[in-house]
Structure 1
Amino acid sequence: MAVGNIYLIASIAVIGGGLFGFDISSMSAIISGDPYRCYFSHARNPNGSCPGPNSSVQGGITASMAGGSWLGALASGFITDLLGRKKAIMTGAVIWCIGCIIVAASQDVAMLIVGRIINGLCVGICSAQVPVYISELSEPRLRGRLVGTQQWAITWGIMIMFYICYGCSFVSGTAAFRIPWALQAIPAIILFFGMMPLPESPRWLARKDRWEECKAVLTLVLGKGDPNSKLVADEFAEIQAYCEFERQNADVTYLELLKPHMINRTHIGLFTQIWSQLTGMNVMMYYITYVFTMAGLTGNNLLVSSSIQYVINVCMTIPALLWVDKWGRRPTLLIGAALMMTWLFANAGILATYGSPAPPGGVGGIPEASWQVHGHAAKAVIACSYLFVASFAPTWGPVSWIYPPELYPLRVRGKAVALSTSANWAFNFALGYFVPPSFENIKWKTYILFGVFCIAMFIHVFFMFPETAGKQLEEVEDMFLDPNGPKNIGTLAWKTHVGQHAPRREELVEKVEKLRRTSQTEAVHEKVEEV
């Protein structure tokens, strides 16, 4: 029997997001350890210590997962349209297990990169389709909270994996990194079997003309088993109306997203994910040990201090889950950008004023730790890093996953969110590769770069990102097609607000009948033209 509790459905599905979190901290906790640095080192220092892979190689290792995720996200658009949201996520879980086997058994850098690319395919599929799956099953008042649990799962994955890696750091030899990389397969196994009793997306079923199954899922999830529920009737009528309207556009390609009536939404979805990367948050997650090494932390102090930000990340995501549907998407993104900009510029100023170049070879023999700071200034850098994480966690973290699935009509939603998520991974790849050399070469100016990005995203959100909180997915379509707004833009972003107009069932039924008559009239005209 299928599971109908939406909270249980979301809690299982977002394990797919947790896989990305496992990957982040498995690298950040391991790259500073001697077993990893010696096993994958390109050379040894004169004193016998291991410098590890050089900055370019380490950037390539870290970025390889994001490269695979970019490809997986794009492919997920086709997979989900063909197999459904549920089976696409299950496919990703199988791919993750294969990648974990290769990564845990890695004999050299090349094998490690191949395994991480395969892992990335899974992360790309799941990160793109889990938000779509949950958003299409949720009622509007809960959608932000439930989709936002994807980010919460990521934060839990980061924290759990970091402490696993910390525990394994006391293990001698290559087991120190092979054990954590192998254990990453466990949540994917749970995800695969946990998805089996969950229902398919009702909107995907409707697109496939499986109307009885669609209504059964709505009854199970929204009606709590009551087929006469008003919420079920309204949702079903709304889905019918838009499926009838879209029936003439059954075959959708990515080119549909570039047409004039869609290009505005496409660019908003893309930049939601691009800006979430350009905040610099994942850089902080991957390479926080480099930053804290510059601040003079070493050994267990380094790992324990780094782990505090992961705890902050988990705890500070909770307010967004509770109140993001009341706050709205726009204010949350604007406040997050302003706060992160503040802490980034503060770190740059502290490092520039009170820091100094590190000795040749970097602090502790780590070339990326090319700058050093001591005393109260070092504590300030650590504090600003924590505050940065606390600002990202309830803002851009969850909203970057919540927002894109709300922007698009049903016929293109799978591919559109896949394209948006692919932008996330393209920039994740670029930044993962870029940051180690940037720490080595431009040092504290790296923080200025990300601070400027935060200014740009604040301006962009204010003028171009409309409010979608509290609206039915189909109602968002009407907002973008508002004839009173600029052509191909709809209602001006700063004039939108949280809330929805809940149409009466009679209005929805009338809309269905009108669209059906329009469709039949068009079909008659086509026959006449053929004759």
Structure 2
Amino acid sequence: MSTSPDSQTLKKGKSIDNAHGEHVEDFIDTVEISLTPAEDVSYGRGGVRGLFDSPFVGGAALLASLGGFSFGYDQGVISIINVMEQFHAVFPDAATPFGKGFMTGMLEFGAFLGCLFMPTLADKISRKRALTVVVAIFNIGAIMQTAAPSYGVLVAGRTIGGIGVGTLAMGSPIYISEIAPPNLRGTLLVLESISIVAGVVISFFITYGTRHMAGEVSFRLPLGLQMVCSTLLGIGIHFYPYSPRWLALVNRPQEALQSLTRLRRLPADDHRVQAEHRGIISEVEVQKIMQERNHPGKSFLALEFAGWCDLFSKKLWRRTAVAVGIAFFQQFSGINAFIYYAPTLFQSLGQSEEMSLIMSGVFNILQLVAVAACFFIIDKVGRR
């Protein structure tokens, strides 16, 4: 890597700490790093207005966010199906409290399993290909749910579909964050949340409309429709570039630069593209050197496991606690219970069947309004 005004050499006397609280200079003799971190490069306006300046990357992020839509759809579709008489006539086990809860909860169990292996898969075969693989898993689960002849097959389909949505819900934000320009990263990541809630809302109103259909089509149709957006994602993502950061991770720096030029719609010699490219390459190189220093001679899978362990090291455990705490308490608020069981909960409070469905719909729309507000303000007021 050639020396430039935007780069410097890391030598003795400079202090950078790794995950174990050691100084990087203690084991790096000479590594060229960028003076301008990749996240500090500015490409113009932020927020929603900035999307008009970057339509290509906005389209890529919108397509990737269909993974979140599929997650939300799979969550929301079951709420009205759970109270359909046609559904209970075919699957009487799902009418019991345990059967209903077990069938619904297996989606979350599958999502938990999917979250565990998605990072390894995304690092190994790329973010794009990983999304295609998990779309296939999701669609297998959707087919099993749609065509299920018995309660057992339905539960198995929910579990496999859960693995798919868990990996989609993790893989899509990874891809979005790595292709987004720094000035739009927050806004584009909120697209994932908007898509999740939009999936919940749309699936709710689809089942609200199909509940009056006679026979099994009333619930099998909305279950089958969940494959539409996931399939669009699995096919469409291949028309967009690989993540520049992933290309850097697998020692393809020139392709990383080419990916950046496509994403930013700028020539390769543009100073902003060059600065971002140098920042990405430098960050990846320092990360690799620290991994080799802390975990010498380990295989790919062993390094992945070691990376998880590093999250609980003395240097990083506080950050890990904050990240896990935010996610935990967001779920602990009980939002998923309302998504899955809102009609049932409102009926238990004495509301009529029709009113319970209307109130559930209003609740879902309010979720969409709240997350849409975040979309417009996150890059103005900050994450906290």
TM-score range, shorter chain: 0.7 to 0.9
What RMSD, in angstroms, separates the aligned Cα atoms of the two structures? Answer: 1.7
Q: Are residues 1:13 and 2:13 paired?
A: no
SS in structure 2 of the partner of residue 259 of structure 1: coil
- Distance in 1 separating the partners of 2:319 and 2:123: 20
In the TM superposition, what whole-angstrom CA distance separates every residue of 1:200-236 from its partner, at most 9, and x where no partner exists?
Answer: 11111101110011011112213x1322323212211
Aligned equivalent of 2:96, options 43, 54, 58 = 54
Alpha-carbon distance, 1:270 to partner: 2.0
Q: 2:282 aligns with which of 241, 247, 250?
A: 241
- Taking the aligned partners of 2:285 and 2:117, their CA distance within structure 1 comes to 27
Question: Which of 74, 99, 110 is 1:68 aligned to?
Answer: 110
Matched-pair contact (CA < 8 Å) for 1:4–1:221? no
- Residue in 2 that maps onto 1:316: 370
Task: Quote the Cα distance in structure 2 between the aligned partners of 1:143 and 1:21.
Answer: 22
- Shift of residue 312 of structure 1? 2.0
Counterpart of 1:269 in structure 2 is 323
1:199 and 2:241 correspond: yes
SS in 1 for 2:95: coil
Is residue 166 of structure 2 the alignment partner of residue 124 of structure 1?
yes
SS of match in other structure, 2:363: helix
Equivalent position of 1:231 in the other structure: 272
Distance 1:165 1:106 in 2: 18
Contact 1:103/1:115, CA 8 A, preserved across alignment = yes
Distance 1:301 1:230 in 2: 59
Q: State the partner residue of 1:325.
A: 379
Partner residue of 1:109? 151
Find the residue that maps to 2:138 and give its secondary structure. Answer: helix
- Tell me the amino acid that sits aligned with residue 271 of structure 2: K
Alpha carbons 1:4, 1:199 under 8 Å: kept: no
Contact 2:87–2:219 (8 Å) recurs in 1: yes
2:248–2:256 Cα contact (<8 Å) kept? yes
1:351-389 CA-partner distances (Å, limit 9, x unpaired): xxxxxxxxxxxxxxxxxxxxxxxxxxxxxxxxxxxxxxx
For 1:416-431, list aligned pairs within 5 A: none
Residue 71 of structure 2 contacts residue 166 of structure 2 at CA under 8 Å; is this kept in 1? no
Q: Structure 2 CA distance, aligned partners of 1:277 and 1:232?
A: 38
Distance 1:263 1:11 in 2: 33
Per-residue displacement from partner, 1:22-81 (whole Å, max 9, x unpaired)?
A: 112111111111112232224xxxxxxxxx532222111111011111111111111011
Partner of 2:263: 221
After superposition, the Cα gap between the structure-2 partners of 1:203 and 1:4, relative to the gap in structure 1 and judged at 3 Å, is farther
2:197 maps to which residue? 155
2:343–2:356 Cα contact (<8 Å) kept = yes
Which of 208, 232, 250 pairs up with 2:250?
208
CA contact (8 A) 1:37 1:53 kept: yes
- State whether residues 120 and 304 of structure 2, in contact with CA within 8 Å, keep that contact through their aligned partners in structure 1: no
Q: 2:208 aligns with which of 154, 162, 166?
A: 166
CA contact (8 A) 1:4 1:220 kept: no
- Structure 1 residue 135 and structure 2 residue 189: aligned? no
Q: Which residue does 1:24 correspond to in 2?
A: 75
Separation of aligned partners in 1, 2:312 and 2:355: 50
What stretches of structure 2 of length at least 5 have no aligned partner? Answer: 1-53, 293-302
- AA aligned to 1:195 is I
Alpha-carbon distance in 2 for matches of 1:273, 1:200:
28
TM-score, length basis structure 1: 0.58
Larger deviation, residues 169-178 vs 263-272 = 263-272
Q: TM-score, normalised by structure 2?
A: 0.79
Superposed displacement of residue 93, structure 1: 1.0
- The equivalent position to 1:37 in structure 2, one of 82, 88, 95, is 88
SS in 2 for 1:225: coil
Structure 1 position 256, deviation (Å): 2.7
- Deviation, structure 1 residue 290: 2.0
Displacement over 6 Å in runs of 4+: none
- 1:4: Cα distance to partner? 7.5
Counterpart-to-counterpart distance in 2, 1:107 and 1:25 = 22
Percentage of matched positions with identical amino acids: 28
Determine the structure 2 residue equivalent to 1:475.
none
